[in-house]
Amino acid sequence: MTTEAPRTEPRNDWTREEIAALFDLPFTELVFRAAEVHRANHPANEVQLSTLLSIKTGGCAEDCGYCSQSASANSGVKATKLMDVQAVLQRAAQAADQGSTRFCMGAAWRNPKDRDMPAIIEMVKGVREMGMETCMTLGMLTPQQADMLSEAGLDYYNHNIDTSPERYGEITTTRTMEDRLDTLSNVRMAGINVCSGGIVGMGETREDRVGFIHTLATLPDHPQSVPVNALVPVKGTVLGDMLADTPLAKIDDVEFVRTVAVARITMPHSMVRLSAGRESMSEMTQAMCFMAGANSIFTGDKLLTAPNAGDDTDAAMFARLGIKPMAISETQAQVEASRMPKGCVKLEAAE
């Protein structure tokens, strides 16, 4: 259905106070406003589908407290070598058959080594030849590596800021938020679409969620894709164990939907991805997220190492909710429209 509401121009001068005021709105008011922004800027009942594959699992040198793949975690995830190119392409073909339009390849690296780049480039080229969009998440990139990926035709690079700048050092000690922002800048400068978001439910405060959204919404360009993950608590990780000991720290569904809604309002042209954690989320909470402007998901029964909802469950949910998978042409049109205009227009936030 089309809407009469005008398209919303993105702005990157959001203040923390404005973002906090959005979070503070009565719930139905916040979701209503987010739905208005969603409908004015995106097809309201279409959701983009991406499939993840872990191309190099575990043994990671970073110590991210949420991650099963960190060498410092005791999660039982086995470390593997980088997958063979042909095996990756086979998995991409299966994903395309299932209706996925983007193939996201993830490696548990602090950063790729130069010797890894030829195989990585072959993977990007091969997936693109199948007519799918490509996404990679390989850790920190140098400007040269970003340029190589861009030349190979990489469409998206995922690199999350995860949480607020204040909380960052409590989640990961082996790198800084500045390191993360530097890679995002290298990716943006190379002309690759940026995918950056974070995790909700790591025991953070509302103020941290405000700081997290503020950091993304004040980047020079809004990320074209903003994944909002709900922490998947994995036994043997710092945060998984902390959550098991303090169940009250678990994020409530209303606060999760609020975070999605505020992301939608502050970054109106971005695709907002309802990411990890759907497997343990009710269909109604997911429906509220779609109402609040989430318009992409990961499909299949596995994320990188953690379980995901699965294609049959999602097909049934889409049928019940009347949601249609978004075509690549539509996704590309949305992304083209997301480029930040020169001299951002300031719109009023919550009164």
Catalytic residue among 195, 209, 258, 289: 195
Burial readout 217-248 (b: 16 or more C-beta within 10 A, e: otherwise): bbbebbbbbbbbbbbbbbeebbbbbebeeeee
- The catalytic position among 104, 167, 278, 289 is 104
3-state secondary structure of 56: strand
Q: Is 344 a catalytic residue?
A: no
Which of ligand SAM, ligand DTB, ligand SF4, none does residue 314 bind (CB under 5 to 8 Å by kind)?
none
Annotation says 60 is catalytic:
yes
Rounded least distance, CB 232 to ligand DTB, Å: 5
Contact 201, 256 (CB under 8 A): yes
Query: Quick check: 199 binds ligand SF4 (CB under 6 A)?
Result: no
Give the C-alpha separation, 229 to 31, whole Å: 18
**Site membership for ligand SAM, residue 132 (CB under 6 A):** no
Q: Are 263 and 213 in contact (CB under 8 A)?
A: yes
Query: In the numeric block, which tokens belong to residue 88?
Result: 């990756």
117: burial class by Cβ within 10 Å (0-12, 13-18, 19+)?
Answer: middle
Per-residue binding letters, 61-80, with ligand SF4 (x by CB under 6 A): -x-x--x-xx----------
For residue 278, the partner it binds in ligand SF4, ligand DTB, ligand SAM, none, with Cβ less than 5 to 8 A by kind, is none
Residue 162 interacts with, from ligand SAM, ligand DTB, ligand SF4, none (CB under 5-8 Å by kind): ligand SAM
110 appears as a binding residue in the annotation:
no
Q: Does residue 289 carry a catalytic annotation?
A: no
Three-state secondary structure call for residue 193:
strand
Closest residue by Cα to residue 272 from 34, 80, 58: 34
**Contact positions vs ligand SF4 (CB under 6 A):** 60, 62, 64, 67, 69-70, 108, 139
**Contact positions vs ligand SAM (CB under 6 A):** 66-67, 69, 106, 108-109, 137, 139, 159-160, 162, 198-199, 229, 231-232, 234, 276, 304
Active site positions, annotated: 60, 64, 67, 104, 135, 195, 273
